[in-house]
Structure 1
């Protein structure tokens, strides 16, 4: 049995987590709540939010982040927050030559545009309050590594990393730190869609020196580190959580 997390570093802080229903987002909500934060969990799936609220006591917002108007309203209503985790992300597996405009636009809308909209509202509130804050955008190793069938997804994560760096530069003077976490394949429901075939997963595993994929809680702990005071001078970085993939 695992030891309960007794760290209460986020006591008195409010955290907003998008993509909170499953995978890394869900693990992040659970971890931040354990560590004392008041958490607002945002997802498009009401059933996921219901069980998450029962588990953690978090507040919930059900919204489809592909809709920019609804996203803006939800982000405004969630304020004020001290910590933001942009974790929402979608993937559609298509070969580059078969990538549709519709799929490309939807993936960019959720993975990049929604992250920008939510972060803008959080940053404006942080600046108005003069309180500073911390933002973590959940990116991917695919921001820097080309993966077959992931043209739109890789493009979206590279864009998110670029957005992260600009946010860090412009928001830093207001005491707001902005970073991204870039995991290799993480064992989430979305990853099952892309990597359940051993013929696909075996070559990827062979490139990871630790010889396994990431667990959602491991990504959540990296996110928590970047949100915390322990990372007080860390801003503008893309933190790989990849088991040594990039070292090879």
Structure 2
């Protein structure tokens, strides 16, 4: 199945590394014009050197006003990937206010802000659009030492459904992709304990974690017109973990 985004513009948050970086690179390969958003200038500079056609925006998405200012002149947008996310593992009883505020501000609050900005542009364009939120299996099941992260991803899944309901009349589709552990730099820190890793993989029929590419292709499908009647879906990409 061939997917082309020729003539489409996409915005990807958290594009500087990991899943967002891989999505950005593949969207360009599929002929999309891409705006890459990250809070880390150095990551954007490296990505720009590798993919010169992209437009880059450096902004901390946890800052509501700064995000509005940074995205106010982005022009037409057809596709949005809300990928930026953070995780801080803390056990119940040791959770700090800073960890709660930081995680919710990026994983939930920023998604609301960016989606409001971009969907507003899509509505004015009048040609519909597609949005994919990068969620997690942590939105569906409890994970040890991930109370706050799980809560944010559960909130994100419900946001996906509500956004699909409200944006559907404008032919703007909204879906979530919910991977298991994806071997990014952030995940390597969170999943550095071999005992913890073995326990998780033992619960997965496929017995392995994701690589970024395993998330990229479902995202591309949901963004494309091949998924024209899919909205409000939460798609697990988890090796069967949540099914079993």
The TM tier, using the shorter chain, reads: over 0.9
Structure 1 residue 28 and structure 2 residue 23: aligned? yes
1:214 equivalenced with 2:210 (yes/no): yes
Q: Which residue of 2 aligns with 1:56?
A: 51
Alpha-carbon offset, residue 7 of structure 1: 4.5
CA RMSD of aligned residues (A): 1.2
2:236 counterpart SS class:
strand
| Aligned twin of 1:18 | 13
Q: Pick one of 217, 221, 234 that aligns with 1:238.
A: 234
> Mean alpha-carbon deviation: is it higher for 13-22 or for 57-66?
57-66
The C-alpha deviation readout for 1:110-160, integer Å capped at 9, x for no partner, is 001101100001111111110100000100000011111111111100011
Paired with 1:175 and 1:8, the residues of 2 have a C-alpha distance of: 20
What residue is the counterpart of 1:118 in the other structure?
Answer: 114
TM-score using structure 1 length: 0.95
Could you say which residue in structure 2 is the equivalent of 1:82? 78
Task: Tell me how far apart the structure 2 counterparts of residues 189 and 146 of structure 1 sit (CA, whole Å).
Answer: 22
Do the aligned residues in 2 keep the contact of 1:64 with 1:70 (CA within 8 Å)? yes
Contact in 1 for aligned 2:5/2:31 (Cα 8 Å): yes
Question: In 2, distance between residues paired with 1:102 and 1:75?
Answer: 26
Distance 2:212 2:167 in 1: 28
What is the deviation of 1:202?
0.6
How do 1:185-200 and structure 2 match up within 5 A?
Answer: 185-200=181-196
Separation in 1 of the partners of 2:228 and 2:72?
26
Q: How many angstroms does 1:79 deviate by? A: 3.2
Structure 2: runs of 5+ lacking an equivalent? none
Indicate yes or no: 2:90 matched with 1:71.
no
After superposing the two structures, state which structure 1 stretch, 172-181 or 192-201, moved more. Answer: 192-201
1:96 aligns with 2:92: yes
The equivalent residue for 2:219 is: 223
Contact in 2 for aligned 1:7/1:35 (Cα 8 Å): no
Distance 1:144 1:114 in 2: 21
Give the TM-score taking structure 2 as reference length. 0.97
Asked if structure 2 preserves the Cα contact closer than 8 Å seen for 1:16 and 1:78, the reply is no
Q: How does 1:147-162 map to 2 (within 5 A)?
A: 147-162=143-158
| Distance (Å, rounded) in 2 between the aligned partners of 1:8 and 1:227 | 10
Structure 1's unaligned 5+ residue stretches are 1-5
